[in-house]
Structure 1
Amino acid sequence: MTAPLHFADAREADDLAAFLARLLHYDRAAAVRLQAGGGTLAVFGRPPSFEVLAVRTASLLDDAALDATVSAGRLLDGIAESEGKAVLPEPVTGPPWAGVLPPRGGWREVPGLPPAATLRGAVGAAVAEFRGLADALPEQRRTRAERDRIGREIWTRTVGSTGLPLRAVHAAQALGFLPAPQVPVGLLAAGPWLRLRTPFGSVAVRTSGAGGLSVTAR
């Protein structure tokens, strides 16, 4: 068993526990990939409803090195918020997404991203549109495939001229990365990747090649 991780502040443990709870809301059997080094822990997860990878970082008291995939539920059980530490569970076999992460460096600023309040408004409007279109379907067309088609049409729309899919913003809000209208946001690019960054986490989108969404630490 790996030695417990000790957080620099008990609030770091609280925030990580909240993030894991959100992941487990979407997948009770969720696994997360942990990477630690240089006093920082990054926790990657993949909520299936959004087909994205999500990450939350936390500051540690030491420079412990770690790279492992574990059960999100067991990791949550091992977090002692009052003590500011996490007892790590045994590693599990990593799912395919755990080996596909965006680059750690080489990011550059991309202009044109609206403020958080506008992004949250766009997500709210898209959710309302999806519900309206789904509710308007004739009874014989109210299938999972038809609802998925409507969802793909809405969530693949891009935010202004940035090329960032609206689904990335939706994921960021649902996972707690856009908790309020005044949250600072930024958009970065590295190679084929776009990265929506907030103080609470980042969502990165691969815009060419294999496609799909992923997340990297802030």
Structure 2
Amino acid sequence: MTARPLTFADPGEAASLAAFLKKLLRWEKAAAVRLQAGRGVLGVFAQPARFEVFAVLTARLLEPIDLDATVSAGELLERVDETGESVAVPVEVTGPSWAGLLPPRSGWRAVAALPPGTARRAAEDVISEFRQRTERLPSQDRTRQLLDGLAEEIWERRLRGTELPLRAAHAAHALGFLSDRSAPNELYDARGWLRLRTARGSVIVRTESGGRGPGHGLSVTPV
């Protein structure tokens, strides 16, 4: 663990980190994140509640440092200094099980370049469909079990022309990763994983063939 703050090399990265953490905490007050730093890049890994995906935010650091720690998202947010473009790393916590089972470091292969707005429109469409179908249900039928089943039916569909579950696009949209409508997105796969890469962050899901072989832990290369 490092005692000195991590200083970002690019303006706006501290604000991006703060926004990311706020979204995680909105869904889960006790959320944790795993921090990995190496070769001048910080990677922030999370598993947002409800989405069943990995979310990854990366940023270049002004000074290279080696770091691997799981910390409270709330405590990390308190230590973000947007004016100073830095963040102080809090004391480590006992992390959730997902923190030890990150996606692979290497072997990622580009499989599709998505035109600007494709993933965002797909997410908006399924969110709208879920709301409309929910509103058409009689109030007495809107049970948690039925709504969960409806959500699973919709978000397990695939993004047209790819194998990416729409829940990944939904998660990317909810996290603000798809806010730039003009930016293209890219899809990668690696040994049973799929990665939706955007200019603001990545969302990664395990496919049916995903295993728990060696090499886990996603490399902290810029998105």
Q: Secondary structure at the match of 1:179?
A: coil
Q: 1:13, 1:84 within 8 Å by CA — same for their partners in 2?
A: yes
Q: Within 5 A, what are the aligned runs for 1:26-45?
A: 26-45=27-46
Please, which runs of 5 or more residues in structure 2 have no aligned partner? 212-216
Structure-2 residue corresponding to 1:51 = 52
Instruction: State the shift of 1:210 in Å.
Output: 6.0
Structure-2 residue corresponding to 1:138 = 138
- When normalised by structure 1's length, the TM-score is 0.91
Q: Secondary structure at the match of 2:70?
A: strand
Structure-2 residue corresponding to 1:193 = 193
Instruction: State the shift of 1:2 in Å.
Output: 2.5
Structure-1 residue corresponding to 2:64 = 63
Please tell me whether residue 155 in structure 1 is matched to residue 155 in structure 2: yes
- Structure-1 separation of matches of 2:35 and 2:91: 12
**Size of the alignment, in residue pairs?**
214
Instruction: State the shift of 1:119 in Å.
Output: 2.1
- Structure-2 separation of matches of 1:126 and 1:176: 16
Instruction: State the shift of 1:41 in Å.
Output: 0.4
Q: Secondary structure at the match of 1:90?
A: coil
- When normalised by structure 2's length, the TM-score is 0.90
Q: Within 5 A, what are the aligned runs for 1:40-119?
A: 40-111=41-112, 114-119=114-119
Cα distance change on mapping 1:210 and 1:190 into 2, 3 Å: closer
Equivalent position amino acid for 1:67 in 2: D
Deviation string, structure 1 residues 62-117 (Cα, Å, up to 9, x no partner): 11111000011110111111112211111000101111111121111113x54232
Please tell me whether residue 19 in structure 1 is matched to residue 55 in structure 2: no
Q: 1:5, 1:85 within 8 Å by CA — same for their partners in 2?
A: yes
- Structure-2 separation of matches of 1:201 and 1:123: 16
Instruction: State the shift of 1:118 in Å.
Output: 2.5
Q: 1:24, 1:72 within 8 Å by CA — same for their partners in 2?
A: yes
After superposing on structure 2, the runs of 4+ consecutive aligned residues of structure 1 that deviate more than 6 Å are none
Q: 1:56, 1:201 within 8 Å by CA — same for their partners in 2?
A: yes
- Superposed CA RMSD in Å reads 1.8
- Structure-1 separation of matches of 2:115 and 2:148: 28
Please, which runs of 5 or more residues in structure 1 have no aligned partner? none
Paired-residue identity, %: 54
Q: Secondary structure at the match of 2:149?
A: helix
